[in-house]
């Protein structure tokens, strides 16, 4: 038996800056996880399809465009449509503090801002997956 | 079993979960495979292999789109390497297959090699079997960026497509011998580049060397996989610009017709089945050995070897000795 934590790292929306997402993807790989990286400009359907087909344990969204309040609800909706609404979703990127409670109310498990220690992210994922 | 029924009825989430079980080698996964095995044997399994950076993923994405015009469903299994240090993996093949995502007739699964050295993962064969059982008529298997020795895809695929990029020049022959011998179709991708013609020529020369042993005398080194009746075509594509894909799909279809009309399809199935039974035999034996020999005796044997009291072969033989009497 060979169980690995599988994480989807997706960049929905139109901003073209994926350095943060790549740093996170690499850190998670280095922590022994299997990271499916989708690349830039993902639609909510693309994110949900990838999460479904890859049977991931957790979904990470990197959003720097400011469109998180528009994108996140649509992604959660697409996940629900596919009966995987229970998947833990976390968001990283530029998220104003005021929006964090709203995102969490939608069902986002955690929001990580710039400067987040990758080790705390690794710890967080272990925690949600093993819960 | 509920999940297998759901997957057979077209539930893609059920399929995704089954794939995870099979990939992880869980008892549930083994049971599902055993149940579904009678349904296997119908899919055309196409292996796509070649050097890192040759454009395999992009080509697979475009190829899938092209094949989907003739087939109701298609599955892709893309293997990327597992880091030997962390055990983790970055699976980035979806990155180059973006335009497939809206197509619910395509199921794409990324796999980490999980330490298996042959260019595919240990469980890739089982994953392919499951997709076959569920009813995907065509399954594309993309290997890790492969070199000479990573020829294992030939043990699961009916048709092997070797993808090369221009600029390999004269190195092609020496570098690619292993892979070229398993190739049924060779593709020079990125053919819009000026060096493409040179690469095609080098590959043609290499192919000639493999199939006729050239002018070096009798064909004493005739490789196993060379079969009379099929001449490995060398095609050119520029996958990013959708160039040459129709010809590639035609070549794949022609190869399938060849396999079926020549009886080679049955032969391959037989070879694959044998390879698979042997693999499981080894796996079961290893488990049995671990159980019967035990870590303590193994460690003691290692110590004896370190003290130079025994050579490794003798030490191993002595570990086995008590098993024979049982």
User: Do both B184 and B314 map to the same domain?
Assistant: no
* Six-digit token string for B272: 């694959």
Q: Is B1 part of a structural domain of the chain? A: no
Q: Do A45 and B101 touch (CB under 8 A)?
A: yes
Same domain (yes/no): B226, B182: yes
The DSSP H or E segment spanning B142 is strand B138-142
Q: Do B106 and B217 sit in the same domain of this protein?
A: yes
All residues of chain B having their beta carbon less than 8 Å from the beta carbon of residue A36 are 91-92, 94, 110
- With contacts defined as CB-CB under 8 Å, which chain A residues touch B86? 29-32
Domain count of the fold of chain B: 2
Domain assignment present for B138: yes
Domain assignment present for residue B102? The answer is yes
Interface mutation target, options A33, A53, A56, chain B, most CBs of B under 10 Å: A53
Residue written as token pair 């796996």: B283
Same domain as B154, residue B75: yes
Residue B223 has a CB neighbour count (10 Å cut-off) of 14
ipTM of the complex: 0.92
Residue B320 and residue B236 in one domain: no
Does residue B110 sit within a domain? Answer: yes
> Chain B contacts of A32, Cβ < 8 Å?
86-88
Domains of chain A (ranges, CATH numbers)? 6-125 (3.40.50.280)
Q: Whole-angstrom Cα distance, residue B73 to residue B64?
A: 10
Q: Do B86 and A54 touch (CB under 8 A)?
A: no
Residues B230 and B319 in one domain: no
The answer to whether B3 and B29 are in contact (CB under 8 A) is no
Structure tokens at B97: 């297959």
**Any domain includes B113:** yes
Q: Which helix (H) or strand (E) holds A93?
A: strand A89-93
Q: Residue B24 is encoded by which pair of tokens? A: 């992880």
Among B59, B110, B122, B101, smallest CA distance to B279 is for B122
Which letter does DSSP use for residue B33 in this model? H
Classify residue B241: in a domain, yes or no: yes
- Would you call B19 and A83 a contact, using CB atoms and an 8 Å cutoff? no
Task: Say if residue B13 is exposed, middle or buried (CB neighbours under 10 Å; 0-12, 13-18, 19+).
Answer: middle
B298 and B252 within one domain: no
Statement to judge: residues B175 and B87 lie in one domain = yes
Chain A contacts of B102, Cβ < 8 Å? Answer: 45-46, 49
Task: Confirm or reject contact between B108 and chain A (CB < 8 A).
Answer: yes
Please indicate, yes or no, if residue B4 is contained in any of the structural domains.
Answer: no
Instruction: Looking at the structure, tell me whether residues B204 and B287 fall in a common domain.
Output: no
Side by side, the strands of the sheet bearing A89-93 are A110-112, A89-93, A58-63, A6-10, A34-37, B89-91
The rounded distance, in Å, linking the Cα atoms of A130 and B310 is: 46
Which domain covers residue B239, as residue numbers? 40-260
Q: Do B91 and A3 touch (CB under 8 A)?
A: no
DSSP string, B165-179: -TT-TTHHHHHHHHH
**Residue B144 has which token pair?**
């890790």
**Where do runs of H (alpha helix) occur along A32-117?**
44-54, 68-81, 100-106
Q: What is the pLDDT of residues A85-116, one digit of tens each?
A: 999 999 999 999 999 999 999 999 999 988 88
Q: Which of B260, B290, B312 is the last residue of a domain?
A: B260
Q: Which residues of A touch B112 (CB under 8 A)?
A: 4, 34
Domain identity same for B104 and B225:
yes
* Residue from B73, B76, B89 whose CB has the most chain A CBs within 10 Å, to mutate: B89
B166 and B294, same structural domain?
A: no
| pLDDT of chain B, 326 residues: tens digit per residue | 589 999 999 999 999 999 999 999 999 999 999 999 999 999 999 999 988 888 999 999 999 999 999 999 999 999 999 998 899 999 999 988 888 877 889 999 999 999 888 888 889 999 999 999 999 999 999 999 876 667 888 889 999 999 988 876 555 555 556 777 889 999 999 999 988 888 888 888 777 766 554 444 344 444 445 556 898 999 999 988 889 999 999 999 999 999 999 999 999 999 999 988 998 899 888 888 888 888 899 999 999 999 999 999 999 999 988 877 76
CATH number for the domain including B227?
3.40.50.300
B84 and A CB contact within 8 Å: no
How confident is the model at residue B211, as a pLDDT?
56
Pairing of strands B74-80, B89-91: unpaired
Q: Which residues of B touch A83 (CB under 8 A)?
A: 13
Same-domain pairing of B255 and B126: yes
Q: Is the dihedral of CA B100, B47, A5, B34 positive or negative?
A: positive
């Amino acid at each position: 038996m060979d169980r690995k934590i599988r994480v989807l790292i997706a960049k929905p929306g139109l901003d073209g800056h994926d350095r943060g997402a790549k740093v996170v993807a690499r850190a998670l790989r280095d922590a022994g996880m299997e990271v499916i990286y989708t690349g830039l400009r993902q639609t909510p359907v693309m994110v949900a399809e990838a999460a479904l087909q890859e049977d991931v344990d957790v979904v990470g969204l990197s959003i720097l465009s400011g469109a998180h309040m528009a994108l996140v609800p649509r992604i959660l909706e697409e996940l629900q449509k596919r009966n995987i609404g229970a998947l833990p979703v976390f968001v990283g990127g530029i998220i104003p503090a005021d929006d964090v409670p709203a995102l969490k109310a939608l069902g986002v498990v955690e929001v990580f801002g710039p400067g987040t220690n990758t080790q705390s992210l690794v710890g967080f994922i272990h925690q949600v997956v093993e819960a | 079993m509920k999940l297998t029924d759901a997957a057979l009825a077209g539930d893609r989430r059920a399929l995704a979960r089954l794939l995870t079980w099979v990939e992880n080698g869980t008892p549930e996964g083994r049971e599902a495979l055993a149940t579904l095995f009678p349904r296997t044997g119908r899919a055309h399994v196409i292996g796509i292999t070649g050097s890192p950076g040759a454009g395999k993923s992009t080509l697979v994405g475009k190829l899938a789109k092209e094949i989907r015009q003739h087939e109701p469903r298609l599955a892709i299994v893309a293997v990327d390497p597992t880091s030997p240090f962390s055990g983790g993996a970055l699976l980035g093949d979806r990155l180059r297959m973006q335009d497939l995502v809206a197509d619910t007739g395509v199921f794409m699964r990324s796999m980490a090699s999980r330490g298996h050295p042959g260019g595919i993962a240990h469980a890739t064969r089982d994953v392919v079997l499951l997709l076959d059982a569920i009813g995907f008529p065509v399954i594309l298997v993309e290997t890790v960026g492969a070199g000479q020795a990573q020829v294992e895809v030939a043990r699961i695929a009916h048709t092997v497509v070797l993808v090369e990029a221009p600029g390999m020049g004269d190195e092609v022959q020496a570098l690619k011998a292993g892979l070229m011998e398993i190739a049924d179709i060779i593709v020079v991708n990125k053919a819009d580049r000026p060096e493409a013609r040179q690469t095609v020529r080098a590959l043609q020369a290499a192919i000639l060397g493999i199939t006729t042993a050239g002018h070096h005398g009798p064909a004493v080194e005739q490789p196993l996989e060379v079969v009379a009746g099929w001449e490995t075509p060398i095609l050119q594509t520029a996958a990013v610009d959708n160039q040459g894909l129709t010809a590639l799909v035609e070549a794949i279809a022609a190869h399938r017709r060849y396999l079926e009309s020549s009886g080679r399809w049955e032969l391959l199935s037989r070879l694959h089945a044998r390879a698979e039974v042997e693999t499981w035999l080894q796996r079961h034996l290893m488990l049995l050995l671990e159980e019967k020999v035990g870590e303590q005796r193994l460690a003691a044997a290692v110590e004896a070897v370190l003290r130079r009291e025994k050579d490794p072969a003798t030490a191993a033989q002595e570990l086995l000795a008590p098993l024979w009497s049982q």
